[in-house]
Amino acid sequence: AVHGDLAGRRVVVSAGGTREPLDPVRFLGNRSSGKQGIAIAEAARARGAQVTLVAANLEVAEPAGCDIRRVSTALELQAAVTEASRGADVVVMAAAVADYRPATVSEAKIKKDQSDDGLTLELVRNPDILAGLGHGPHDGTLLVGFAAETEPDDERILELGRAKREAKRADLLVVNRVGWTEGFAADENSAVVIGVDGEIVTRLHGSKVSVADGILDVVVSKLN
């Protein structure tokens, strides 16, 4: 990390996990804590960037010195990221976005039915926010995506990451393994950064703070 190497740059980071409401008291969510995204926002700030953090249901404290936009659902996150990304130098999509949301949100708390022993929920697809940015006009904005995979095999995880980078037209894709104990809530992370030719740009291990700086080292090299 070089002090001030992101000075004058505008960086947008999404972090956390979306919640998709079912009724006034329930939601479908995921186990993303927001730690890795927040570490990236803080590291970018420390390197001189002007940072907008689009924060979805963080489980950790909000970082100082960032412009914070709080959102909850995927659609809210899409609106905030799309707006903030206009004219940005870098967009890092670290948030875990729900692929589906309940087709309808009940006005009242959903009740158990005495005669039923199950309930079927109908879900509809959420927009892919990163793919939307990648496929739209985004001149001069470097797009960084994440892929959290549960596959045990490293080669398979890389393959999935390469396919995702291409499908979403991201400039960089950070791949890491998640599971019951690794990834989301942990303080440590291991990640591989994939570039536009599917090449491994770098492998990163360590605290989420050091992984954040490693990702930003690659970002800086692509900006210049």
Active-site residue, 30 included: yes
Question: Is 128 near ligand C5P (CB under 6 A)?
Answer: yes
Question: Is 23 near ligand C5P (CB under 6 A)?
Answer: no
Question: Is 17 near ligand C5P (CB under 6 A)?
Answer: no
Question: Least Å distance between CB 9 and ligand C5P?
Answer: 20
Per-residue binding string, ligand C5P, 170-199, x by CB under 6 A, is ------------------------------
Question: Least Å distance between CB 97 and ligand C5P?
Answer: 4
Selected binder of ligand C5P within 11, 49, 55, 129 (CB under 6 A): 129
The DSSP secondary structure of 111-171, one letter per residue, reads PPPTT-S-----EEEPP-HHHHHHHS--TT-EEEEEEEE--S-HHHHHHHHHHHHHHHT-S
How is residue 181 annotated by DSSP? S
Size of the site for ligand C5P (CB under 6 A): 13
CB neighbours of 158 closer than 8 A, spacing ≥ 6?
A: 175, 192, 194, 200
Alpha helices in 154-224 (DSSP H): 154-168, 208-223
Instruction: Report the run of H or E that residue 39 belongs to, with start and end.
Output: helix 35-46
Interface positions with ligand C5P (CB under 6 A): 74, 93, 95, 97, 99, 126, 128-130, 145-147, 164
Residues annotated catalytic, as ranges: 30
